[in-house]
């Protein structure tokens, strides 16, 4: 991403921001879990962010005629993998 010549500064910045949000939310959930506290609220925020991100980003990738089939396939697998993990994480034991 950082070395992609086809991306301008705004394209790189929003991708870095999206990654930072994912990593921050996941880190907070992990921190709360390691300390034995409730991470339910943070987990819900991570799930909402993940699903919302992939609906918008994944949908955009799928309808983009500039993308290759391989690119679309990889990102579709990532999208549905995220949906599956999100569903499993919120359907488990309640705090």
Residue 4 lies in a domain: no
Residue 26 lies in a domain: yes
Contact 29, 2 (CB under 8 A): no
Q: Both tokens of residue 4?
A: 């992609």
Residue 1 lies in a domain: no
Global pTM value: 0.80
Residue 95 lies in a domain: no
Contact 43, 90 (CB under 8 A): yes
CA 13 to chain centre: 16
Total domains present in the chain: 1
Q: What is the pLDDT of residue 94?
A: 57
- Overall average pLDDT of the 50-67 stretch: 94
Contact 54, 81 (CB under 8 A): no
Q: What is the pLDDT of residue 39?
A: 83
Q: What is the pLDDT of residue 54?
A: 95
- Sequence-distant (≥ 6) Cβ neighbours of residue 44 within 8 angstroms: 90
pLDDT surpasses 80 at 59: yes
Q: Which domain holds residue 49?
A: 9-90
Q: Both tokens of residue 35?
A: 């300390």
Q: What interhelical angle do 40-63 and 9-34 show, nearest 10?
A: 150
């Amino acid at each position: 991403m950082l070395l992609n010549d086809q991306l301008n500064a705004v394209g790189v910045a929003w991708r870095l921001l999206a990654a930072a949000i994912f990593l921050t939310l996941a880190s907070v959930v992990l921190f709360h879990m390691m300390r034995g506290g409730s991470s339910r609220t943070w987990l819900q925020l991570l799930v909402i962010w993940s699903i919302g991100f992939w609906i918008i980003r994944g949908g955009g990738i799928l309808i983009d005629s500039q993308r290759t089939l391989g690119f679309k396939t990889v990102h579709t697998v990532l999208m549905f993998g995220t949906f599956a993990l999100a569903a499993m994480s919120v359907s488990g034991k309640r705090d």
